[in-house]
Structure 1
Amino acid sequence: MTVTNPDAPVHLAGKRSREAAIAHDKDAWLANFADDAVVEDPIGPSHFDPEGKGHRGKEAISKFYDMAIAPSDLEFDFVETYQCGNEEANIGHIVIKSAGYEVKAEGIFTYRVNDEGKIVALRAFWELDRATASARKI
């Protein structure tokens, strides 16, 4: 993956987010977010977010972590990265291993940070039905 500016605050915040999720380090993952941040993963209604409004604020983001990240082993494979100001879009996929299954979520994964380099928005554009169709027993 080629990144225009690997030292950009948004890129570093995204990298910290992924590393903390892989390491199952909830405290580090949450510390990377601004207090008023939103996580939409995936965007729209899902079993993690039936109303499709996103997880807003640290308490809601913490609950999302417990539902989606804690029980899973994750692998990130981003093949393209586009940086624009305080935002970054990554094209690729995430492999999610949980409960004896592996699912591949292909899409666009975006981060936006504030002036302090804290994530204010983590948004994941992936289709639940396509990811579910990729499920295989491991």
Structure 2
Amino acid sequence: MSPETIQALVTAYFANFQAMNPDAWIESFTEDALIYDPVGKPPNKVHETARKFFGLLSMFFEKLQISQDQVFIVENGAAVKWTMQGWAKNGKRGTAEGISVFEIHETGKIQQVSSYWDDAAMMAQVRD
């Protein structure tokens, strides 16, 4: 798989996440794809949990902004160092940094994402 194809897939992943667009986001994944977000928590089956997850996000956050600070592509995978800012509906803003590792299936869809970050610290910044 070409680095350009992988970069486009990763960019779509982040763009659709930021837009809180579950339908387009799900299209990037294989049917059996798993997400470890963050690593250490039980995995989520993308096609089973994404709509509920995005529903919760949109109830809490007014806006999310994610930048891909550095992208490293090797063979059928990528690691992305990212920064996220979230504006909660209560007016508070939080920032988090992390690294997500993508495993890409030969069909050109994401098979697994493992994200390393402190989600609890982000949520502590935006809670009432």
Asked if TM exceeds 0.5, the reply is yes
Q: Deviations over 1:89-119 (max 9, x none)?
A: 1113111222322221111122221111111
Aligned to 2:30: 34
How many pairs align? 122
The answer for the alignment partner of 1:114 in structure 2 is 105
Quick one: which amino acid aligns to residue 77 of structure 1? S
Q: Is the 8 A contact 2:26 2:46 kept in 1?
A: no
Give RMSD over aligned pairs. 2.1
Give deviations 1:6-51, integer Å, cap 9, x for gaps: x1x322111111122223322111111100001122222xxxxxxx
Give % identity: 20
Q: 2:10 aligns with which of 14, 21, 25?
A: 14
Contact 1:38 1:61 in 2 (8 A): no
Tell me, which stretches of 5 or more residues in structure 1 are unaligned?
45-51
Instruction: Give me the whole-angstrom Cα distance separating, in 1, the residues matched to 2:33 and 2:75.
Output: 18
- The runs of 4+ residues in structure 1 deviating greater than 4 Å are none
Partner AA of 1:53 in structure 2 = P
What does residue 59 of structure 1 align with? Answer: 48
Conserved? CA contact 1:106–1:131, under 8 Å: no
Is 1:93–2:83 an aligned residue pair? yes
Q: Give the alignment's TM-score, normalised by structure 2.
A: 0.80
Does 113-122 or 70-79 show the bigger shift?
70-79
- Structure 2: tracts of 5 or more residues without a match: none
Structure 1 match to 2:73: 83
Cα deviation, 1:66-109, whole Å, max 9, x if unaligned, reads 333x3432211222211111111111311122232222111112
CA shift, 1:57, in A, is: 4.4
2:122 equivalent among 107, 110, 131: 131
Number of the residue aligned with 1:23: 19
Greater helix proportion: 2
